[in-house]
């Protein structure tokens, strides 16, 4: 494993961007470049170069002044930091349409996540196949999670069932959960929870769209002043402000 890493705790915001850099690095690697500058990575990841440098410096990074970063080294450093090289087993509960789509999502597998088992509580679902996996009843969770050493669970059930399923996952030994059900879940300390709410994203878009066509009244968009620095492009950022991102995607053109 990675030996002497300066584990001075990486800021959350940076952690959330590491997967982005990883994706960008794959792109760069495919283009055949052995090294990449912070500006190059920034362009590929859609962030600003200073941020890239600061983020990478938290990893105790290996950039070379005058040159940039070695693509292979950096890729492996970030992977190590994220804990991706050890390959995680994942259990998914709820094989509705979303659950099925997630089970077959290629982006998981090629980042080191293997969906090892899928569950549902509907007896008419149990026994059917989703991809190569046979749907099992949620009651089987404890055995399967233990047997396969699964640490991560994905909840893709309706909101009503989610807390129950969540509790069962935790009881079975899962310690990280990704929730797609549109509800708040409570978990004990030591369990990590993240959520993706599809409708929330649309509502945020709605806000901006609404205020785009409403130039005045009530809450208005403040005109933004962009500083000089970069941005020679013809396409530029949307809306305004800075750019971090909390919930999002991965993967690039690799494979």
Partner DNA sequence: GACTGTGAAATCGTTCACAGCC
Partner DNA sequence: GGCTGTGAACGATTTCACAGTC
Q: Which residues are at the interface with DNA (CB under 7 A)?
A: 1-2, 11-14, 36-39, 47-51, 53-54, 56-57, 61-69, 226-229, 241-244
CA distance 30 to 249: 19
Question: Using the rule CB under 8 A, is 54 a contact of its own copies?
Answer: no
3-state SS assignment for residue 107: helix
Q: Which does 108 bind (CB under 5 to 8 A by kind): its own copies, DNA, none?
A: its own copies
> H-helix or E-strand containing 122?
none
Residues 6 or more apart in contact with residue 82 via CB below 8 angstroms: 15, 18, 19, 22
Number of residues located near its own copies, criterion CB under 8 A: 124
Question: Using the rule CB under 8 A, is 193 a contact of its own copies?
Answer: yes
Which CB atom, from 101 or from 239, has the smaller least distance to DNA?
Answer: 239
Q: Which DSSP string do the residues of 71-103 spell out, in sequence order?
A: HHHHHHHHHHHHTGGG-EEEEEE--SHHHHHHH
Per-residue contact track with its own copies, 76 to 115, x per CB under 8 A? -----xxxx-x-x-x-----xxx-xxx-xx-xx--xxx--
Q: Give residues 211-250 in contact with its own copies (rule: CB under 8 A).
A: 211-212, 214, 217-223, 225, 230-250
Tell me the closest approach of the beta carbon of residue 110 to its own copies, in angstroms: 8
Question: Using the rule CB under 8 A, is 69 a contact of its own copies?
Answer: no
Question: Using the rule CB under 8 A, is 189 a contact of its own copies?
Answer: yes
Tell me the closest approach of the beta carbon of residue 15 to DNA, in angstroms: 9
Tokens of 245: 């991102």
CA distance 46 to 33: 18
User: Phi/psi of residue 144, each to 5°?
Assistant: -65, -45
Question: Using the rule CB under 8 A, is 129 a contact of its own copies?
Answer: no
Q: Which DSSP string do the residues of 136-170 spell out, in sequence order?
A: EEGGGHHHHHHHHT--EEEE-S-HHHHHHHHHHHH
Q: Give residues 143-162 in contact with its own copies (rule: CB under 8 A).
A: 151-152, 159-160
Which CB atom, from 73 or from 104, has the smaller least distance to its own copies?
Answer: 104
Question: Using the rule CB under 8 A, is 132 a contact of its own copies?
Answer: no
């Amino acid at each position: 494993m990675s030996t002497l890493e300066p584990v001075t705790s990486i800021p959350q915001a940076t952690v959330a961007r590491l997967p982005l850099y990883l994706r960008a690095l794959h792109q760069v690697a495919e283009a055949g470049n052995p090294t990449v500058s912070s500006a190059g990575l920034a362009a590929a990841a859609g962030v600003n170069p200073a941020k890239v440098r600061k983020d990478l410096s938290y990893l105790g990074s290996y950039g070379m002044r005058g040159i940039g970063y070695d693509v292979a080294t950096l890729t492996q450093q970030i992977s190590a930091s994220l804990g991706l090289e050890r390959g995680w087993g994942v259990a998914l509960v709820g094989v509705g349409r979303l659950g099925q789509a997630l089970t077959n999502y290629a982006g998981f597998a090629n980042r080191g996540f293997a969906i090892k088992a899928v569950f549902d509580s509907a007896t008419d679902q149990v026994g059917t196949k989703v991809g190569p996996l046979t749907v099992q009843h949620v009651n089987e969770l404890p055995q399967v999670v233990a047997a396969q050493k699964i640490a991560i669970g994905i909840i893709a059930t309706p909101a009503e069932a989610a807390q129950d399923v969540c509790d069962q996952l935790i009881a079975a030994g899962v310690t990280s959960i990704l929730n797609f059900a549109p509800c708040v879940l409570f978990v004990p300390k030591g369990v990590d929870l993240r959520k993706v709410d599809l409708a929330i994203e649309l509502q945020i878009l709605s806000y901006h769209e609404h205020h785009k066509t409403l130039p005045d009244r009530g809450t208005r968009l403040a005109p933004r002043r962009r500083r000089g620095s970069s941005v020679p492009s013809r396409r530029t950022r949307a809306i305004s402000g800075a750019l971090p991102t909390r919930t999002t995607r991965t993967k690039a053109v690799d494979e």
